[in-house]
Structure 1
Amino acid sequence: MTAPLLRIEALEAGYGAAQVLFGVTLDIEAGSVTTLIGRNGMGKTTTIRTVFGLIRPKAGRVQVEGRDLAGAPPYRIAQAGLGYVPEGRHIFPRLGVEENLTATAASRQGRSAWTLERVYQFFPRLKERRGNLGTQLSGGEQQMLAIGRALMTNPKLLVLDEATEGLAPVVRAEIWQVLEALKREGLAILVVDKNLEALARLADRHAILEKGEIVWTGTTPDLKAPGGPIERYLAF
């Protein structure tokens, strides 16, 4: 049996003495789109930061295509094929658009390889602003840049934490359109966001995180079923 692209198994992590994750287990298959959803403070960002080596796990495994990378430094996670769009974007503010895009770029051969020109095709506004510094971009343009920068690593899996948080509605719509286009190309995506309707349209599977544990996984029809997981775990 082929190993999943990303396997998170019995993952435990936290901050100092404060434990946040209590055995998170989740598989992401190649070419699939999966959401990680839950109320604020349930451990979504901690899960992602632990996967990317920004938090050292206390226990558990993080495997990429069967290779155990739990606790590996972030650059090794990126080299293994995971691209990261962090919450808050974290672009390089004093670098220009093209410098941001090429700073962490990884080359790959083939028709589907991500290049500057291909990123500009997805985000024409970045091409228009390519001479601007990161600090001179709007929030929406910064998010486009963060996604473009992650794509320039030529990932097998694109991970977005709070994909559209704080963005204007028209920009949010553009981001969802880009993610739908990436899905059609077969890129695996793991996305965190609060917009359940947009997530339901985009994703193949969903996972709900509650108090540091995955408490439910399933398809969009299961997610939206009356009296189902939205009412049990996500109602405010």
Structure 2
Amino acid sequence: MKSFLSVKQLQAGYGRAQVLFDVSFDVEPGQVVTLLGRNGMGRSTTVKCLFGMLAASAGQILVGGESVRGEPAHRVARRGLALVPEGRQIFSQLTVEENLVATARSARAGALAQPWTLERVYGFFPRLKERRNNLGWQLSGGEQQMLAIGRALMTNPKLLVLDEATEGLAPVIREEIWRTLDALKREGLSQVIIDKNIGHLLRLADRHYVLEKGRVVWQGDSEALKRQPEIVHQYLGV
């Protein structure tokens, strides 16, 4: 199957400090892929390159076979990528509903079997509907994370990128987020997930890429990773 997202030999850094060294990975339509590694190993830098927040110095970023390397974030979004950023970054002075519609983008005719609308997002996250008139700063951490995911879905993406979406949340809220990601996978939405919860990732993801000092040092499916617990111990520190 042809990849929806293909990253090839990506290199990037900050000033003279190179962070990524020939990072390559692929995401097929409907596939869930993880970028694993300790903090500071290049995962978030890779995400910044995907969304045009950091200029890559070499390599390719292809979406649907077309290059998006160097394109600004709004053009990347039009290609079908959406980001749930680390730290949520919701608009604290806007209401829940205003956050959801602020960056909403209608699905192209026939592009999605069930386009994302306000009511559909509220169906996924009933708590957001209850809080629709509350300002962003009035929400709990878990509600803010639901809002960040809902806001990304309102762009009607083909691929959702989640950077530490469950970090710092109460266990019951984390479980709700994982159930949501599982439901999105069943609907066929491609995902790239950065997270530390290996147990959930092994159940949800189709393929894993482990980064160490800006290089992909291991890749494989969940069964292969289960058979090699030393990989988790060595590179993830679990």
In 2: Cα distance, 1:182 partner to 1:162 partner: 17
Query: What amino acid is aligned across from residue 20 of structure 2 in structure 1?
Result: L
Please name the residue that 1:40 is paired with: 39
Within 5 Å, give how 1:1-236 maps onto structure 2. 3-108=2-107, 109=109, 111-235=113-237
Shift of 1:187: 0.5
Matched residue SS, 1:119:
helix
Matched residue SS, 1:141:
helix
In 1: Cα distance, 2:229 partner to 2:162 partner: 28
- Relative distance call for 1:126 and 1:211 in structure 2 (3 A) is same
Query: What amino acid is aligned across from residue 28 of structure 1 in structure 2?
Result: V
In 1: Cα distance, 2:68 partner to 2:2 partner: 14
Matched residue SS, 2:203:
helix
Amino-acid identity (%): 61
Matched residue SS, 2:216:
strand
Query: What amino acid is aligned across from residue 98 of structure 1 in structure 2?
Result: E
Matched residue SS, 2:227:
coil
For residues 30-73 of structure 1, what are the alpha-carbon distances to aligned partners after superposition, in whole Å with 9 as ceiling and x for unaligned? 10011111011101000001110000111111110000010110
Q: Is the contact made by 1:222 and 1:228 (CA closer than 8 Å) also made in structure 2? A: no
In 1: Cα distance, 2:160 partner to 2:219 partner: 20
Matched residue SS, 1:21:
strand
Gaps of 5+ in 2: none
In 2: Cα distance, 1:227 partner to 1:122 partner: 34
Q: Is the contact made by 1:21 and 1:213 (CA closer than 8 Å) also made in structure 2? A: yes
Query: What amino acid is aligned across from residue 5 of structure 1 in structure 2?
Result: F
Moved more, 109-118 or 192-201: 109-118
Backbone CA RMSD of aligned residues: 1.1
In 2: Cα distance, 1:129 partner to 1:38 partner: 35
In 1: Cα distance, 2:193 partner to 2:56 partner: 21
- Relative distance call for 1:137 and 1:227 in structure 2 (3 A) is closer
Shift of 1:18: 1.4
Shift of 1:3: 3.6
Moved over 3 A (4+): none
In 2: Cα distance, 1:222 partner to 1:233 partner: 15
Query: What amino acid is aligned across from residue 217 of structure 1 in structure 2?
Result: Q
Q: Is the contact made by 1:91 and 1:100 (CA closer than 8 Å) also made in structure 2? A: yes
Query: What amino acid is aligned across from residue 176 of structure 1 in structure 2?
Result: W
Shift of 1:235: 2.9
- Relative distance call for 1:227 and 1:141 in structure 2 (3 A) is closer
Matched residue SS, 1:113:
coil
In 1: Cα distance, 2:99 partner to 2:15 partner: 32
Q: Is the contact made by 1:53 and 1:70 (CA closer than 8 Å) also made in structure 2? A: yes
In 2: Cα distance, 1:113 partner to 1:184 partner: 15
In 2: Cα distance, 1:127 partner to 1:190 partner: 27
For residues 97-119 of structure 1, what are the alpha-carbon distances to aligned partners after superposition, in whole Å with 9 as ceiling and x for unaligned? 11110111110145410000000
